[in-house]
């Protein structure tokens, strides 16, 4: 992912795309900070799961900002944050949604033998292990709660 971020940053800079350049610089900085936090050099290569976690954190931060800006009536700032989310989502795998998510949750419930909401942790752990980066934890959690008695 590091190579892709650097190549995309170079392309954005050559195209003089200020917004994309700013977002990619920020993402690259977050990636390098995570590498240093993991004990690597700033040019170190993170494991794919760690790189995805960095991108997810950046998107989550912007989603929270969108909610806050909408709450106080700053539609222009919310739109700017939405644009940044769209640029960052390119680096994340497609999320399981709808019928695919429901099938994955039902499979995890069957696999773990979950019988009540007390077993939700086991189901979520199985979902994370099976689907990792393509899983929206909040949506999966809501679905698991609705399917378990």
| Closest by CA position to 59, among listed 35, 95, 32 | 95
Query: Average pLDDT, stretch 109-138?
Result: 79
Question: CATH topology for 2-89?
Answer: Hypothetical Protein Yqey; Chain: A; domain1 (1.10.1510)
Neighbours of 66 (CB within 10 A): 19
At 13-52, the pLDDT tens digits run: 999 999 999 999 999 999 999 989 888 887 888 888 888 8
- Please give the Cα distance from 132 to 124 (Å, whole number): 10
Where would I find the H helices in the chain? Answer: 2-14, 18-37, 48-71, 75-89, 98-112, 120-131, 137-147
Domain ranges of the chain: 2-89, 98-147
Question: CATH topology for 98-147?
Answer: Arc Repressor Mutant, subunit A (1.10.10)
User: Is the CB of residue 46 less than 8 Å from the CB of residue 54?
Assistant: yes
Domains 2-89 and 98-147 belong to one CATH topology: no
Q: What confidence score (pLDDT) does residue 21 get?
A: 94
């Amino acid at each position: 992912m590091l190579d892709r971020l650097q190549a995309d940053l170079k392309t954005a800079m050559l195209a003089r795309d200020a917004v994309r350049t700013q977002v990619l610089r920020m993402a690259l900085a977050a990636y390098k900070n995570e590498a240093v936090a993991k004990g690597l050099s700033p040019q170190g290569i993170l494991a794919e799961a760690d790189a995805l976690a960095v991108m997810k954190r950046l998107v989550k931060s912007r989603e929270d900002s969108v909610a806050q800006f909408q709450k106080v009536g700053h539609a222009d700032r919310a739109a700017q944050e939405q644009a940044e989310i769209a640029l960052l989502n390119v680096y994340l795998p497609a999320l399981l949604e709808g019928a695919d998510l429901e099938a994955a949750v039902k499979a995890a419930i069957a696999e773990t033998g979950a019988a009540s909401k007390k077993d939700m942790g086991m189901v979520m752990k199985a979902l994370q292990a099976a689907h990792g980066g393509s899983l929206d934890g909040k949506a999966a959690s809501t679905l698991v709660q609705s399917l378990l008695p």
